[in-house]
Structure 1
Amino acid sequence: MPATVMRFLAGLALSLALGTAVAETLDRIVAVVDDKVVLASELESETALVRQRLRQQKVNLPSPQVLERQVLDRLIMERLQLAVAGRMGIRVDEGTLNAALQRIADQNGMSLSRFRDAVQAQGMDYAAFREDLRDEITIRRLRERRVRTSVNVTPQEVEELLNNARGEDSTEYLLGHILIALPERPEPEQIRAARAEADETIAKLRAGQSMDAVAAAHSDSGTALEGGNLGWRTAARLPTIFAQQVQGMSPGEIRGPIEAGNGLHIIQLLDSRDGDRKLVTQTRARHILIRTNEVVSDSDARTRLNTLRQRIDDGADFAELARQHSEDPGSGVRGGDLGWVNPGTMVTVFEQQMDRLQPGELSLPFESQFGWHLVQVLERREQDMTQEMRRAQATAELRERKAEEALEAWLRRIRDEAYVDIRLGGE
């Protein structure tokens, strides 16, 4: 996610005060990425934003040189992904961008005009904020198309996970993670250097330095600037190489270096908790799906759904309109009925939109990786955890694990295949 958007969303409630923003810099090229460049002014601006966000989160900052290099690596990866998206024809139109801005404003209890004022009050240019958000949506669409939609989970894998989990509790783990990256086919000297850095990193952790500071200084993972924090996860939702380690660890314990295809990993168990849930809230919903393609744009799909929404408000039958217009072959023939939906079953954006609705309420059109949706919640109920729910959770966990591993491999591949010339002082 672009750093400007991350900084604003994390800090809005804290009423940030950047003052006069970043000092003016004589521009020069600090990196060449294929046929694109990264300017010193961009790097300085993004570094200032990241530094401000880390301070708010009380993350110990690495040295200025290390932080600058971490931010530059992130900017390089953004450039590479946006270039791939451009070649694939992935575009975010003005209507989609405006709808995303409105959602962010709504989530913060603001009108769009107040939201614009809040962005500017934090020393940020609103037009630049819009473009950063456009880039964020573009990269998300790219990752969904290139990685997530290609991930396949088989019934056999689900059954194997369920069988292995029988008799185990649903403990959740909070892991800190550091990656010392290696290229796809490393030279012996590169391997030796990576092992030496991994040993130095582990020594710092065992000497009492915090995971967030060491990760920010040493990790090549995408979570480096978040202090290496992977968030609360069950073992099943962790990458396979970590799941094999974590269940035998005690809080504070460090494991590594763990060798994998993309480099050497170091993990630290920060905390654990009982994540068992006895009841879940199920939602019965129905939807109408309009897919985009070379002929149907985002704007076309949204307009069609707004027209259908108005017809439903005027008394038209949702089910009949779904049978006529929905492009979801599974639910369309059932009048859009999705049946009883368990938490974690649907893609994140769909579930978030559905969860905001009261029974009988109709959503505004919104976009997911599958197209544009109009959703209506019919009813909700509390249910005991069933085997069906366990299977749905297992499927989601396997898909998330595979998607993370596939994304890491894909990002490493496009980085290795690109021409990147870094021109920081001393490099």
Structure 2
Amino acid sequence: MTKSFIPNLRLPLIAAMIATLGAPALLAQVQTQRSPFQLRLPNLGGPSAAAGVATGAQRQADYIVAVVNSEPVTNNEVRARMLRTEQQMRQQAAPVPPRPEFARLVLERIINERAQLQLARENGVQVTESAVDDAVANVARQNQLSVDELRRRMTADGLAFSQFRGDLRNELLLTRVRERELEGRARISEQEIDQFLRDQESGTGASAMEINLAQILVAVPDNAGAAELATLQARAQLAAERARSGADFAGLVKEFSSVPGRGGDGQMGLAAADRYPPLFVEATQTVPIGGVTGPVRSGAGFHVLKVIEKKRAGMPGAAVNETRARHILLRPSAQLTEAAAIARLADFQKRIAAGQADFAALAREHSQDGSAKEGGDLGWASPGMFVPEFEERMNSLAPGQMSDPLVSRFGVHLLQVVERRTTKLAPREQREAIREMLREKKLDESYLTWSQEVRGRAYVEYREPPQ
């Protein structure tokens, strides 16, 4: 049940980058996500992206919008990706740019991916059919479906299953070529760890502070004239004055802002200061918690910023919350369907809750993994040791509480949390935790540099703009 690589989409900070620098910043931030591969399909069973594209395709013929090293990118490809991306961003309450700008951003992302896929093929990177099968099975499990049910649902929604497999294959190729190219660029030296520790002790450096900012953005169009610019600046100034006078900031966001933030209150979330745009950090450096500054000008418009939270970042890994849990695992097979496994574990759950059976005894008799002989005991686990779908459910349980049957990529689990504790790490373990944190940051930075290098070597010819 060890953890596998599943990327995080940091959409609130993507929104911050949009709000600061406009279109190029969104592209840069999207590029730092080293793998866009996502296991969970958004709103499976609802209106599909493919259906939306098909409707649009009936209104106009498809056409080529760009050529990447002689390989075409079509308008329908851009439209399909826009629909999927917009759905993901709206689920995360991230603002969606105006359509022409959004289309340009999505096209640039496709061009970058196309160039990277071509590089992967040139370097002999391959993905086997069994790896694609595993990825399909993972998606099905994440959505609590069998592969056959997933295929039926996608077909009913107008999605071609062969295209779905092709998309997964490409995502796996992208992940492999990126990991191969970036691994050597993300080594962390002992000197870098020492410098991080010195920054922490002195309170200097962006990584030593965490901030949560809320913003009101009065967007400025690219072609704004002097009169329109003055009007928009006056609007931003009015919003700032009302914020300083004590007006509800969330209400001002609704009234004035082009960017609602994740909860409609303009907030971008607590994060290390170096994860925020430098303009925001500089503008709020001396502003106390609850204070308001601005308007400040960026490529996107005028920003009014409020400091929601500001604190010194904790030492990574100084203490960890550990959980001791146990489980009963049933693996679906030809003899045991997933539905039957869920029903069997639900019966176990009722019997244990009623005092008619013992969890450990049932685990020894029925669990289909190495923990069975220990009564299902998984031992003490630190954050990140289990796959996300398992760990998320485990973290939601109180000690002594059982989950309903849980489907993961490994099978179906009946999970119970036994106890929790907070453990301090030894100095050597703390340094390793810092090393991993710095490595993740360097991977993000290295990916952006590498992707720009790959893009720079590609021949790109733009045709008609996407619609």
After TM superposition, is the score higher than 0.5?
Answer: yes
Partner of 1:323: none
Root-mean-square deviation (CA, aligned residues, Å) is: 5.1
Deviation at 1:160, TM superposition (A): 1.6
Q: Quote the Cα distance in structure 2 between the aligned partners of 1:407 and 1:382.
A: 34
**Percentage of matched positions with identical amino acids:** 27
Deviation at 1:79, TM superposition (A): 0.5
Q: Is the 8 A contact 1:21 1:123 kept in 2?
A: no
- Do the aligned partners of residues 232 and 103 (structure 1) sit closer, same or farther apart at CA in structure 2, a change above 3 Å counting? farther
Secondary structure at 1:11's aligned position in 2? Answer: coil
Partner of 1:126: 161
| Partner amino acid, structure 2, of 1:21 | G
Partner of 2:445: 405
Partner of 1:27: 62
Unaligned runs of 5+ in 2: 1-29, 216-222, 240-255, 325-367, 371-378, 395-407, 411-418
Q: Is the 8 A contact 2:69 2:458 kept in 1?
A: yes
Q: Is the 8 A contact 1:280 1:385 kept in 2?
A: yes
User: Could you tell me which of 129, 133, 138 is aligned with 1:94?
Assistant: 129
Deviation at 1:60, TM superposition (A): 4.2
Task: Say whether residues 1:238 and 2:268 are aligned partners.
Answer: no
Q: Quote the Cα distance in structure 2 between the aligned partners of 1:388 and 1:243.
A: 35
Q: Quote the Cα distance in structure 1 between the aligned partners of 2:184 and 2:268.
A: 23
Unaligned runs of 5+ in 1: 178-192, 214-227, 260-265, 285-312, 316-338, 366-378
The one-character-per-residue Cα deviations of 1:251-304 (angstroms, maximum 9, x if unpaired) are 776798899xxxxxx9977854777698524599xxxxxxxxxxxxxxxxxxxx
Secondary structure at 1:31's aligned position in 2? Answer: strand
- Do the aligned partners of residues 124 and 6 (structure 1) sit closer, same or farther apart at CA in structure 2, a change above 3 Å counting? farther
Q: Quote the Cα distance in structure 2 between the aligned partners of 1:84 and 1:267.
A: 43
- State the TM-score, normalized to the length of structure 2: 0.52
Deviation at 1:67, TM superposition (A): 1.8
Q: Quote the Cα distance in structure 1 between the aligned partners of 2:391 and 2:93.
A: 32
User: Could you tell me which of 147, 155, 165 is aligned with 1:112?
Assistant: 147
Q: Quote the Cα distance in structure 1 between the aligned partners of 2:393 and 2:91.
A: 33
Deviation at 1:104, TM superposition (A): 2.3
- State the TM-score, normalized to the length of structure 1: 0.57
Task: Say whether residues 1:416 and 2:446 are aligned partners.
Answer: no
Higher relative contact order (CA 8 A, sep 6+): 2
Task: Say whether residues 1:210 and 2:247 are aligned partners.
Answer: no
Partner of 1:16: 46
The one-character-per-residue Cα deviations of 1:180-215 (angstroms, maximum 9, x if unpaired) are xxxxxxxxxxxxx9xx9xx99x969877433479xx
- Do the aligned partners of residues 267 and 420 (structure 1) sit closer, same or farther apart at CA in structure 2, a change above 3 Å counting? farther
Secondary structure at 2:61's aligned position in 1? Answer: coil
Q: Quote the Cα distance in structure 2 between the aligned partners of 1:16 and 1:314.
A: 36
Q: Is the 8 A contact 1:120 1:126 kept in 2?
A: yes
- The count of residues paired between Structure 1 and Structure 2 equals 312
Q: Quote the Cα distance in structure 2 between the aligned partners of 1:409 and 1:174.
A: 27
Q: Quote the Cα distance in structure 1 between the aligned partners of 2:465 and 2:390.
A: 50
Instruction: Please give the residue correspondences for 1:251-290 in structure 2 after superposition, counting only pairs within 5 Å.
Output: 272=309, 279-281=319-321
Partner of 2:191: 156
- Do the aligned partners of residues 393 and 173 (structure 1) sit closer, same or farther apart at CA in structure 2, a change above 3 Å counting? farther
